[in-house]
Structure formats: C-alpha cells, structure tokens
Amino acid sequence: MIDPREIRAGNWVIKITGTDINTQSFFEYKAIAFDEYYHTFAKVCFPIKITPAILGKSGFKHEFGDWYINRSVEGIDDGLPFLRYHNADNCWYLEKMKLWSQPVYLHQLQNLFYALSKEELNIQLGRFTNVAMMGPIDLFVKAIEKKSRTRELCKSPG
C-alpha cells in the first residue's frame, strides 16, 4: 500500500478495482482524482515502479543508456538539461547534481518533477494488463514455490 502522505491529486498508482468470481484482484492504472479522500484511496493502491517503458511514456528520452527530460527554453531546440537517470550508476541527477533522495516509484518522480518545475509530468500509461499480483507489484506478496515430486525411473532387472 501507499503512505497517503506521499501522494497528491494527479499521481498515478495501481488501483485495485474489484475481484472476479475466483477472488483474483483486478488492477488498473489510475490517476488520483481531486475529489478522492487519500487515506481511503491509499488502502487499495500500490505504487508503480519506474521502468524504462514508463519513462518512455512519461516524456523522457533515451540516449546512450540514460533517460532524460529537458526544460523547454525559447530559442533552444532540445531545451536545457533538467532531470537525468544515469543507467551506469542507477542514480537520478538534477542537471549535474546527484539527488540525495532517489525516486523509485512513479508518484515520487511526479512529485519531484512538480516540485522542481511547477508543471505536471505528462504521463500516458494506457491500460494496465491484469496479471498475477507477483508480477507488477512484487512488494508484499511473494510467490509460494511448490516442490514437485519426481520419481526416478528404475531399470527393471534382467
């Protein structure tokens, strides 16, 4: 679950939207609406881990293994350097300064971007593929390994 103090209206999360007849949960990417009560909403939500696919859908560009987003400036085509994720050391940088608090989840990146630029990060996630909970979340539930019983085939004498 998400700490309600970390989220604000507009943050993207994975929300449990119901269950099927086998009581498996349905999940959906949702942005928190302005009229939602955060403490109740956070009980049915999980954070979205930042992935290359999500960075690509959030306006970041990929170059030499790093992901970056620049500030638009009049007269400069690519804009000025702003946020960059260096793949080599797995760290986020503001211009050339390493961030002391590294965002891991999308809502943290959104809040950082908003705090620095006073603009919302443009995110286009599309539909969430409903898969087993261990796949996209892997925070609180661990898969149970079943040990299969195998028998050795013995050659019959003779």
Q: Does residue 143 have a pLDDT over 60?
A: no
Amino acid letter for position 111: N
Report d(CA 84, CA 87) in Å as an integer: 9
Average pLDDT, the chain: 76
Residue 39: what pLDDT? 65
Extract the tokens encoding 6: 């970390």
pTM (two decimals)? 0.72
Residues 6+ apart with CB under 8 A from 8: 32, 38, 111
Banded model confidence at residue 146, pLDDT cuts 50, 70, 90: very low
How big, in percent rounded to 5, are the helix, strand and coil portions of the chain?
Answer: 15, 30, 55
| pLDDT tens track for 87-107 | 889 999 998 899 988 999 999
Extract the tokens encoding 120: 């919302």
Amino acid letter for position 76: I
Residue 111: what pLDDT? 94
| pLDDT tens track for 81-91 | 789 999 889 99
| pLDDT tens track for 10-59 | 888 888 776 666 666 677 788 887 777 666 676 778 899 999 988 998 88
The predicted model gives 111-127 an average pLDDT of 87
Q: Which of 31, 34, 39, 28 lies closest to 11 in space, CA to CA?
A: 31
- Would you give the end-to-end CA distance of the chain in angstroms? 63
List residues bridging with 30 in a β-sheet: 13
